[in-house]
């Protein structure tokens, strides 16, 4: 799955599935914006939960929210700005994860050797993978018995 952006890094557009770009809802002299009802509602709920958690304790999110309020924004406007900022953080992390996946070795893990058992056709059985002789527990009765 590819992670792509439609706002070309300007921070003004919306990304696929993230309904955090504000829509104009102005009327007359009243200038307002609202969140789009379109997009992925689960992602919007997660962003809202992240914002609420950030506001409950002293954090970078709380500082950002308070700074927006001091600039004269309403609580809803400051919350919208915080959600957008959190969306940008999550999106940047998704891009980093995608870049890491694209540069990973054939085994799917960065740093995996090409001769590992995950990439080979025949898995290697080391001495710790083989059954050991001695006493075992019978799974059905819980009694000890000799291993074959």
Q: Is residue 4 very low, low, confident or very high in pLDDT (cuts 50, 70, 90)?
A: low
Q: Would you say how long the chain is, in residues?
A: 148
Query: What is this structure's pTM?
Result: 0.54
The per-residue pLDDT for range 8-47, each reduced to its tens digit, is: 444 445 554 455 566 777 777 777 766 666 777 888 899 9
pLDDT greater at residue 132 or residue 61:
61
The per-residue pLDDT for range 54-80, each reduced to its tens digit, is: 999 999 999 999 999 999 999 999 999
77-85: which pairs have CB atoms within 8 A and are 24 or more residues apart?
Answer: 77/33, 79/51, 80/20, 80/22, 80/33, 80/35, 82/51, 82/54, 82/55, 83/20, 83/35, 83/47, 83/48, 83/50, 83/51, 84/11, 84/20, 84/21, 84/22, 85/61
| Residue 55 pLDDT | 95
pLDDT greater at residue 49 or residue 101:
49
Contact 60, 89 (CB under 8 A): no
Is residue 101 over pLDDT 60?
Answer: yes
Q: Is residue 92 very low, low, confident or very high in pLDDT (cuts 50, 70, 90)?
A: very high
| Residue 109 pLDDT | 62
């Amino acid at each position: 799955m590819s992670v792509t952006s439609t706002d070309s890094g300007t921070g003004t557009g919306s990304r696929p599935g993230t309904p955090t770009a504000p829509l104009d809802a102005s009327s007359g002299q009243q200038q307002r914006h609202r969140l789009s009802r379109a997009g992925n509602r689960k992602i919007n709920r997660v962003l809202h939960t992240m914002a609420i958690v950030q506001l409950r304790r002293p954090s970078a999110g709380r500082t950002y929210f308070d700074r927006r309020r001091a600039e004269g924004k309403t609580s809803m406007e400051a919350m919208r700005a915080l959600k957008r900022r959190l969306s940008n953080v999550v999106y940047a992390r998704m891009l980093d994860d995608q870049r890491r996946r694209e540069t990973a070795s054939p085994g799917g893990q960065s740093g995996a050797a090409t001769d590992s058992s995950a990439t080979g056709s025949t898995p290697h059985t080391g001495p710790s993978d083989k059954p050991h002789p001695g006493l075992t527990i019978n799974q059905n009765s819980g009694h000890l018995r000799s291993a074959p």
